[in-house]
Structure 1
């Protein structure tokens, strides 16, 4: 988790506490979308990931979740959930560029730990962020060899 946090900080310019909270929110989202299988394995293989998830779950979002759920409930579960995630990240102060870099680094880490195919499956849980931010498919991510 420390290497991932450092990598996210380098890519986004975020402070350590904000980077950890943002990672926690993405991992919480992934765990909620697919609590079993490769997501669980990715979380298990990422030291201190569970702590980041618990911190994100305990962190209030200033009403962002309720507002977004109300506005997007007619769009279907996946889109609303992804918009909630985007809202929570924005509430932490992340802009679209930082969100794109955050997700890219998490997907790159998943690629290192699980391989490109499973990283692509994990990334597929974030379809609306993909469309909104133009995030490259997992197989196009360029992992840092030092993240292993």
Structure 2
């Protein structure tokens, strides 16, 4: 996982420690939405992914925006609320909107190589806006 995190960090323009937390947040999000399925398979196939999820969950939330968006995510609930909460966690790491887009492409591009497009799509299709972002021509 260290090589992949280093690649993500370089591509997104963030420190490797931040990239690792971001990956942990995204994987934790997928694991929460798709327990006992392709998300678990993905996480099991990437050494260090479980530790990254634990570290991300234990990381303190920084910034007013992160707290506000996280709280709104809890109020909205469902898939949209989960996406807002994830976005809040990632922005609290200091990621800009452009960096969030690059991060998503890198994480999900790597995930596709690990579990294949069909299983990845089964995880992303239910996430508002993500499927169209990842698979614009499908």
Specify the alignment match of 2:101 in structure 1: 100
- Give the TM-score of the pair, scaled to structure 2: 0.85
Q: Identify which of 123, 131, 135 aligns with 1:137.
A: 135
Residue correspondence of structure 1 range 34-113 to structure 2 within 5 A = 34-62=34-62, 67-68=68-69, 70-73=71-74, 75-113=76-114
Instruction: State the aligned residue count.
Output: 137
Cα deviation per residue 1:3-56 (whole Å; 9 max; x = unaligned)?
A: 320221122011011110111111111111112111000000011001100001
In the alignment, the residues of structure 2 paired with residue 4 and residue 18 of structure 1 have an alpha-carbon distance, to the nearest angstrom, of 13
Deviations 1:71-106 (A, max 9, x none): 355544211111010011000000111111111112
8 Å contact kept, 1:116–1:139: no
* In 2, Cα distance between equivalents of 1:69 and 1:27: 17
Runs (4+) of structure 1 exceeding 6 A deviation are: none
SS in 1 for 2:107: helix
**Stretch of structure 1 that moved more, 74-83 or 60-69:** 60-69
| Contact persistence 2:74–2:85 (CA under 8 A) | no
Distance change in 2, residues 1:9/1:69 (3 Å)? closer
Structure 2 alignment gaps of length 5 or more: none
Which whole-Å CA distance do the structure 2 matches of 1:138 and 1:24 have between them?
25
Structure 1: stretches of 5+ with no match in the other structure:
141-148
Cα pair 1:72 1:80 within 8 Å, conserved: yes
Classify the secondary structure of the residue corresponding to 1:29: helix
